[in-house]
C-alpha cells in the first residue's frame, strides 16, 4: 500500500483521480437506471436491452473519434460540448415515459454518441503526471478506484429507483455527469498537457497487436459484466435492493483484486491468468441463483476485473506513441462498449426466453472467450517485467503549457 500512498502524494494525482471518478460515476448508474426505467415502461427486458445497446453503440462509435478530436481541438472544448449534448439526451429519456420504444433508442444513441471521453483524456494525462516507475501502479490504482463507481453506483441507483422513482435515478446521474465533468474540465492538468496531433491515419493504431488484443479482451470482459448486471436485476426484480447489493459486492471483489495485483510485474501471461479468475467466478454463479451464492461467486469473479483492465491500460500505453494514446484508449473503450451493448442485448433476450439463468450463460460464454483469446495471443502481449509502461516518445517535443 506504500506505493499507492506515495502516488497519491504526487502533485495533482489525488485531485485528478477524484475529479474523473465523479465525472465517470454515471457510468455505474445509467445502465441500471435505464434498465429499470425502460423495463418499467415497456414490461420487457428485451426492450430495455435494446436501449442499453443503443447507448453503448453510440459510445463505441464516438470513442475513437472524440478521442482523436482532443488532439486537434483540445481536451476542454471537446469535453464541454459532449457533456452538454449527452446530458440533454439523458434528461429527456428520464423525464418522459410515454415515448415509443424507437424514440428512446434514438435518444439513447445520441447520448452515447456525445458521451464525454473522460477516460481517454485522463489516461492520456497520467504519463505526464508521474515518473515511469509509478505509471503501472497508477494504472492499477485507477482501475481499482473506478470500482467505487461500480460498488456505490448500482446501490445508489437501486435505492433511488425503488424508493423514489427510476426517473429520479436518471436525473441524479445527470447531476453527477455535469458537476463532475465541470470539475474535471477545470482541473489544471488539462491546461498543462496538450495531446499532439497524430500524423497517422485514423484507425491505424488499432493495427498494433497489443491495442487489438486489449480491445478484444475488453470487449469480452465488459460483455460478460453487462450480462451479469442484467441477470442479477432479473433474479431479484426491479423493486428489490438485493440486486444493487450483489452488484456492489461484485465490484468490491474487483477493487480488492486491483489493489492486490496492482504492484505485481506484468508478464505475457498476466491477462490470461486474470481473465481465468473472472471466468471461474461467473461459471460458479450460474449454478445457484440466490443472494449468498451469487454474492460469493461474483466476488470471486470480480477479483480479476480491475487487474485485467490495469494490464490492458499498461500494455497499450507501452506500445504506442504519446500522440496516439488517446485514440488507442478510444478504441479500447469502443471494444468495451460494444461488449456492453451485445452483453446487455443478448442477456435481455435470453432472460425473456429462458429466465434469469440465460443471462449467466451468456456471461460465462463471454468470460471463457475472454480467457481463451489472451491465452492463445500471449505473443502479442508485451512483457513489462523490468520495463515501464510509458508511451513511446514522439519525434518532436510535446508542448507543456503553464497552468
Residue 150 C-alpha cell reads as: 461500480
| Partners of 321 in beta bridges | 392
**CA distance linking residue 64 with residue 337, whole number of Å:** 12
Nearest to residue 119, comparing CAs of 311, 330, 285, 277?
330
Residue 384 C-alpha cell reads as: 513489462
Residue 136 C-alpha cell reads as: 503501472
Confidence grade of residue 181 (pLDDT, cut at 50, 70, 90): very high
**CA distance linking residue 34 with residue 10, whole number of Å:** 38
Predicted local confidence at residue 277, as pLDDT: 94
Confidence grade of residue 180 (pLDDT, cut at 50, 70, 90): very high
Nearest to residue 141, comparing CAs of 250, 9, 26?
9
Q: What is the dihedral of CA 88, 91, 96, 97, to 10 degrees?
A: 130
395 pLDDT higher than 60: no
**CATH code for the domain defined by 13-197+204-380:** 1.20.1250.20
Q: What is the CA radius of gyration of the chain?
A: 20
Confidence grade of residue 93 (pLDDT, cut at 50, 70, 90): very high
* Average pLDDT for 210-218: 90
258 pLDDT higher than 60: yes
* Percent of the chain residues topping a pLDDT of 90: 26
Nearest to residue 189, comparing CAs of 26, 70, 75?
75
* Average pLDDT for 358-387: 86
**CA distance linking residue 1 with residue 124, whole number of Å:** 24
Pair 64, 330: CB distance under 8 Å: yes
pTM of the model: 0.76
* Average pLDDT for 267-286: 91
Domain boundaries, the chain: 13-197+204-380
Between 41-45, 148-152, 380-384, the lowest mean confidence (pLDDT) is in 148-152
* Average pLDDT for 3-31: 82
Per-residue pLDDT tens digits for 107-136? 999 999 999 988 888 877 887 777 766 777
Collapsing DSSP to helix, strand or coil, 400 comes out as: strand
Between 96-100, 140-144, 311-315, the lowest mean confidence (pLDDT) is in 140-144
Predicted local confidence at residue 389, as pLDDT: 57
Residue 248 C-alpha cell reads as: 456492489
In 10 A of CB 103, how many CB atoms?
13
Collapsing DSSP to helix, strand or coil, 232 comes out as: helix
254 pLDDT higher than 80: yes
394 pLDDT higher than 70: no
Residue 34 C-alpha cell reads as: 435505464
313 pLDDT higher than 70: yes
Looking at every residue in the chain, the average pLDDT score rounds to 83
Amino acid at each position: 500500500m506504500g506505493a499507492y500512498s506515495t502516488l497519491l502524494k504526487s502533485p495533482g494525482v489525488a485531485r485528478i483521480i477524484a475529479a474523473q471518478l465523479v465525472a465517470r460515476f454515471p457510468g455505474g448508474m445509467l445502465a441500471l437506471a435505464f434498465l429499470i426505467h425502460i423495463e418499467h415502461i415497456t414490461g420487457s427486458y428485451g426492450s430495455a436491452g435494446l436501449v442499453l445497446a443503443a447507448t453503448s453503440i453510440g459510445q463505441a462509435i464516438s470513442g475513437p473519434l472524440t478521442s482523436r478530436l482532443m488532439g486537434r481541438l483540445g481536451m476542454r472544448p471537446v469535453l464541454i460540448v459532449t457533456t452538454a449534448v449527452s446530458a440533454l439526451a439523458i434528461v429527456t429519456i428520464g423525464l418522459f415515459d410515454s415515448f415509443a420504444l424507437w424514440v428512446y433508442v434514438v435518444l439513447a444513441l445520441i447520448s452515447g454518441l456525445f458521451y464525454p471521453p473522460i477516460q481517454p483524456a485522463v489516461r492520456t494525462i497520467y504519463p505526464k503526471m508521474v515518473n515511469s516507475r509509478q505509471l503501472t501502479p497508477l494504472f492499477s490504482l485507477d482501475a481499482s478506484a473506478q470500482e467505487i463507481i461500480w460498488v456505490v453506483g448500482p446501490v445508489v441507483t437501486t435505492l433511488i429507483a425503488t424508493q423514489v422513482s427510476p426517473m429520479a435515478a436518471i436525473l441524479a446521474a445527470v447531476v453527477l455527469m455535469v458537476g463532475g465533468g465541470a470539475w474535471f474540465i477545470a482541473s489544471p492538468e488539462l491546461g498543462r498537457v496538450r495531446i499532439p496531433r497524430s500524423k497517422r491515419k485514423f484507425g491505424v493504431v488499432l493495427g498494433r497487436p497489443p491495442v487489438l488484443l486489449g480491445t478484444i479482451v475488453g470487449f469480452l470482459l465488459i460483455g460478460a459484466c453487462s450480462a451479469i448486471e442484467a441477470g442479477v436485476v432479473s433474479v431479484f426484480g426491479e423493486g428489490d435492493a438485493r440486486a444493487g447489493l450483489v452488484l456492489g459486492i461484485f465490484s468490491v471483489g474487483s477493487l480488492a483484486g486491483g489493489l492486490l495485483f496492482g504492484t505485481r510485474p506484468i508478464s505475457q501471461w498476466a491477462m490470461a491468468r486474470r481473465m481465468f479468475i473472472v471466468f471461474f467466478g461467473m461459471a460458479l454463479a450460474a449454478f445457484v441463483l440466490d443472494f449468498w451464492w451469487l454474492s460469493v461467486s461474483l466476488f470471486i469473479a470480480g477479483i480479476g476485473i480491475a487487474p485485467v483492465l490495469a494490464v490492458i491500460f499498461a500494455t497499450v500505453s507501452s506500445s504506442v506513441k504519446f500522440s496516439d494514446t488517446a485514440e488507442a484508449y478510444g478504441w479500447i473503450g469502443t471494444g468495451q462498449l460494444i461488449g456492453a451493448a451485445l452483453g446487455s442485448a443478448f442477456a435481455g433476450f435470453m432472460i425473456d426466453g429462458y429466465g434469469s439463468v440465460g443471462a449467466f450463460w451468456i456471461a460465462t460464454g463471454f468470460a471463457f472467450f475472454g480467457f481463451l483469446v489472451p491465452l492463445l495471443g500471449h505473443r502479442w502481449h508485451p512483457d513489462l517485467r523490468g520495463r515501464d509502461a510509458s508511451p513511446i516518445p514522439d519525434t518532436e517535443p510535446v508542448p507543456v503549457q503553464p497552468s
